[in-house]
Amino acid sequence: MIILIFTLIINLLCAQTNRFIYEMQIKSAERPMKINMVLDIDKNFTKFYDYDFLRNDSISKKTGQNWQSNTQSDQLILRKTNSNENKAFHDNMFDYFVIESKDEMNWKIENETKNSAEYTLQKATTNFGGRKWTAWFCSAIPFQEGPYKFRGLPGLIFELQDDKGNYSYTLSKSTNLPETFATTNFLETHYGNQPVKVSLKQFQKVKLDFYSDPTAEMKKALKGGGTVMISGEKITSHEQLDQKRKFLQKDILNNYNPIELDKAIPYPKN
């Protein structure tokens, strides 16, 4: 076991990008989600993003075509490695925003341990974003990093869950890349769109404006003689579109479960 861990540490230190894949599960009223997420750690930066971005980037490089996708997780994070200063990126229809924040976490390291394959994990707890969290970290893996904004423990976070079971992350795979992996096309920018720096309040207003009428752009298209399709249904009248507006608003509310409750968008109550 000691030899295996020693070999792994040598490989990690020799790599230019250390990549860890997490399975993230999110609970919501209608559509519980299971999403694979990527944690890239290199000498200068730590990045967290949807695995689909990685898949599309690979296809684009192989085919020469520009494969694009929007985030399902809304957890696009960039920070300097070993820093608590995060940049959180958000795509919103045709716009791309970035919100900067400093997120220090006060961890309580517990005595409890458990085994995961050949690794020994230790328990730690913290309060963050209006939720209580339990992490299991491995001090044998020399990175003080983890999923999303979670970091600061003396070892890589293998497992993470809030006490209500709304969010959970489980490390499923790791790989070491010989070169620093560039994410410029889909993280630092969104397929050519530069991020607009906004405050939390400004971003909340953008989301509330969209919620007030999520069919606004469709109305313009319908008025101009264009074709509007929603979930495979052709919309031909403003009356139909108004019914879809109510449906989309309800869908937004039913499936909104923000990871940071203290930064939640103040949508109206059902």
Q: What is the full per-residue pLDDT of the chain (270 aa) written as tens digits?
A: 333 444 455 455 556 899 999 999 998 766 778 999 999 999 899 999 999 999 988 888 888 777 888 899 999 999 999 999 999 999 887 799 999 999 999 999 999 999 988 899 999 999 999 999 999 999 999 899 999 999 999 999 999 999 999 999 999 999 999 899 999 989 999 988 899 999 999 999 999 999 998 887 777 777 766 677 677 777 777 778 878 888 889 989 988 999 999 999 999 986
Residue 222 has a pLDDT of: 72
Residue 14 has a pLDDT of: 54
What is the spatial distance between Cα 7 and Cα 25, in angstroms, rounded to a whole number?
A: 31
What is the spatial distance between Cα 265 and Cα 262, in angstroms, rounded to a whole number?
A: 9
Q: What is the dihedral of CA 140, 176, 34, 136, to 10 degrees?
A: 10
What is the spatial distance between Cα 186 and Cα 61, in angstroms, rounded to a whole number?
A: 13
Buried-state track 69-94, b at ≥16 Cβ within 10 A, e below 16:
eebebebbbbbeeeeeebbbbbbeee
> Which residues 6+ apart lie within 8 Å of 19 measured at CB?
38, 39, 40, 41, 174, 175, 176, 177, 181
Specify burial of residue 180 (Cβ count, 10 A radius: 0-12, 13-18, 19+).
middle
Rounded to two decimals, what is the model's pTM?
0.89
Residue 7 has a pLDDT of: 44
Angle at which helix 216-223 crosses helix 238-254, to 10 degrees, equals: 160
What is the spatial distance between Cα 224 and Cα 232, in angstroms, rounded to a whole number?
A: 20
What pLDDT, in 10s, does the model give residues 146-197? 999 999 999 999 999 999 999 999 999 999 998 999 999 899 999 888 999 9
**Contact present, 267 and 208 (Cβ < 8 Å):** yes
Other Cβ atoms within 10 Å of 37 Cβ, number: 25
What is the spatial distance between Cα 101 and Cα 84, in angstroms, rounded to a whole number?
A: 8
Structural domains in the chain, CATH included, are 2-188 (2.50.20), 199-263 (no CATH)
